[in-house]
């Protein structure tokens, strides 16, 4: 069954040299070659301000680029979020993107008793994180703390599940062969839409 996939490329640097970008391209190529439909949300190229208040989160107009991204997410049944680990967590620009995009009424809704409804149910995700340290150090020494938080408080909170993960460590130190293996793996995940 062809699936609708949106790749949220969360690297703030638009340079084609970034490995995150190559991983996104590999995923997209694999997915398209298997007949899946792929949209890319390239956060580095979007125009949006940071939210500064609860009132803005609830009621301020959604910027055009964010609205376009929301439409892509609405139309998708699988999300792929790719970002580099920066200071132990998501780059601020990507966090700012989710604050803008995952607003009440789009990702979540509250009833009168302040119970929330998850509005993005029915969508799965893969989160791909690149980092300078070995991936095992992040997962086991640091407990992948920021990834847990991202998955629990942003993705699952909105109903997105199941979530798969790819942690790619030692990126700067890695040999071309190791990089190629990850690109091939991404392409395979794309073909499987997983």
Ligand X SMILES: Cc1cc2nc3c(=O)[nH]c(=O)nc-3n(C[C@H](O)[C@H](O)[C@H](O)COP(=O)(O)O)c2cc1C
Nearest to 169 by CA among 127, 129, 146, 135: 135
CA distances from 70 to 76, 89, 187 (A): 10, 23, 25
Give the binding site for ligand X (CB under 6 A). 11, 18-20, 84-88, 130-133, 171-172
- Least separation in angstroms between CB 194 and ligand X: 21
Identify the CA nearest to 12 among candidates 85, 93, 127, 129: 93
Closest to ligand X by CB, 42 or 77: 42
| 111/172 with CB nearer ligand X | 172
- For residue 181, the minimal CB distance to ligand X (Å) is 16
* Rounded Cα distance, 192 and 34, in Å: 8
Sheet holding 124-130, edge to edge: 37-42, 4-9, 78-84, 124-130, 163-168
Considering the complex, state which of residue 84 and residue 190 has its C-beta at the smaller distance from ligand X: 84
Q: How far is the CB of 15 from ligand X (least distance, A)?
A: 8
Looking at the Cβ atoms of 173 and 184, the one nearer to ligand X is 173
Smallest gap from Cβ 53 to ligand X, in A, equals: 27
């Amino acid at each position: 069954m062809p699936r609708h996939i949106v790749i949220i490329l969360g690297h703030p640097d638009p340079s084609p040299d970034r490995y995150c970008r190559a991983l996104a391209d590999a995923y997209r190529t694999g997915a398209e070659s298997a007949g899946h439909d792929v949209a890319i949300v390239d956060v580095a190229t979007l125009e949006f301000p940071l939210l500064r208040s609860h009132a803005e989160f609830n009621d301020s107009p959604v910027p055009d680029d964010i609205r376009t991204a929301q439409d892509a997410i609405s139309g998708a049944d699988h999300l792929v979020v790719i970002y580099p680990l920066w200071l132990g967590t998501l780059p601020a620009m990507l966090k700012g993107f989710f604050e803008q995009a995952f607003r009440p009424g789009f990702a979540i809704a509250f009833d009168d008793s302040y119970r929330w409804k998850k509005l993005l149910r029915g969508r799965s995700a893969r989160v791909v994180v690149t980092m300078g340290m070995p991936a095992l150090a992040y997962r086991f020494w640091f407990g992948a703390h920021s990834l847990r938080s991202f998955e629990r408080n942003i993705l699952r909170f909105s109903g997105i599940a199941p979530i798969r993960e790819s942690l790619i460590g030692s990126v700067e130190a890695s040999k071309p062969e190791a990089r190629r293996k990850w690109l091939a793996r991404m392409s395979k995940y794309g073909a499987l839409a997983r």
